[in-house]
Structure 1
Amino acid sequence: MAAPAFEEIVEDFEFLEDWEDRYRYVIDRGKAMEPLAEALKVPATKVDGCASQVWLHPVIENGVFHFDGDSDAMIVRGLIAVLRALYNGVPVAEVPGIDARGELGRLGLNDHLSAQRSNGLTAMIERIRLVAAEQV
């Protein structure tokens, strides 16, 4: 079972009937995030492999993984919010073992994202896993 914040998203998705509503929900989650500070939007935090501009800023405190992120695309910003619900607050040693694709599959996202968005999502997941693995 995933983190409670992610389980909340799964439950919310069950109540949303169509994909237009689900996309709107993901976008709204992204809009609710604090924007990433401009000073953190640097090459070191930029995620390659995304069609849009994406930055992830991981922070590990007391062995617990957290990250903030931002994007110039609203749907991608929403996907960052979903990934934050999946990973934030997890012990860093457990991050590489999270089956993000499986968990996101519970939302049906794997089947409803364009190829470019799917590749970008994979790039974000790989960046998260890489950063966490470096800390273990």
Structure 2
Amino acid sequence: MSLPIDAAAALDAFQAVGSWEQRARLLMQWGERLPVLAEDQKIDANLVQGCESLVWLVGRLQGGHWQFAASSEARMIRGLVALLLARVNGLSAAQLQAVDLPGWFDQLGLSRQLSPSRSNGLNAVLQRMRELSRTHN
């Protein structure tokens, strides 16, 4: 499966840097680029369950393709969520079901730095995306 444009750009950027410090800086930069969610979207109904940090997620279907937006107070999580959004935005519901989250962060060279709680949180975000896509077919 070919990658969405933003995901391909992320992959190029992360594969171009060598050290963990450079990757961490890049991760923060991706998090800063995450569009801010409106305060009226930061409600309990949009809160992802299973994350240690607060993560809000909204999604909408446009022409058969999903567009998600998310926000988190935690800088590292914001960066990781931004990279997840880069990977999934523009996918169909079926493509969304097939996303390999560990494989994606492995390609980016970030999997070793993902603590179990961060991995679980990102999995919870992806599961929530999949739930949204199933309820809006």
* Interval of TM-score (by shorter of Structure 1 and Structure 2): over 0.9
Equivalence for 2:66: 65
Equivalent pairs: percent with the same residue?
34
Equivalence for 1:18: 19
The Cα of 1:26 is off from its aligned counterpart by 1.2
Equivalence for 1:109: 110
The Cα of 1:106 is off from its aligned counterpart by 0.8
Equivalence for 2:45: 44
Q: Superposition pairs for residues 1-136 of structure 1, below 5 Å? A: 1-136=2-137
Give me the whole-angstrom Cα distance separating, in 1, the residues matched to 2:136 and 2:28. Answer: 31
Structure 1: unaligned runs, 5 residues or longer: none
Greater CA drift, 27-36 or 126-135? 126-135
TM-score (norm 1): 0.92
RMSD: 1.3
Contact 1:96/1:133, CA 8 A, preserved across alignment: no
Q: Deviations 1:93-134 (Å, cap 9, x if unpaired)?
A: 321122222222211322111222111111111111221122
Q: Secondary structure at the match of 2:46?
A: coil
TM-score (norm 2): 0.91
Contact 1:59/1:67, CA 8 A, preserved across alignment: yes
Contact 2:67/2:90, CA 8 A, preserved across alignment: yes
Amino acid at match of 1:17: G
Aligned length: 136
Q: Deviations 1:8-34 (Å, cap 9, x if unpaired)?
A: 111111111111111111111111122
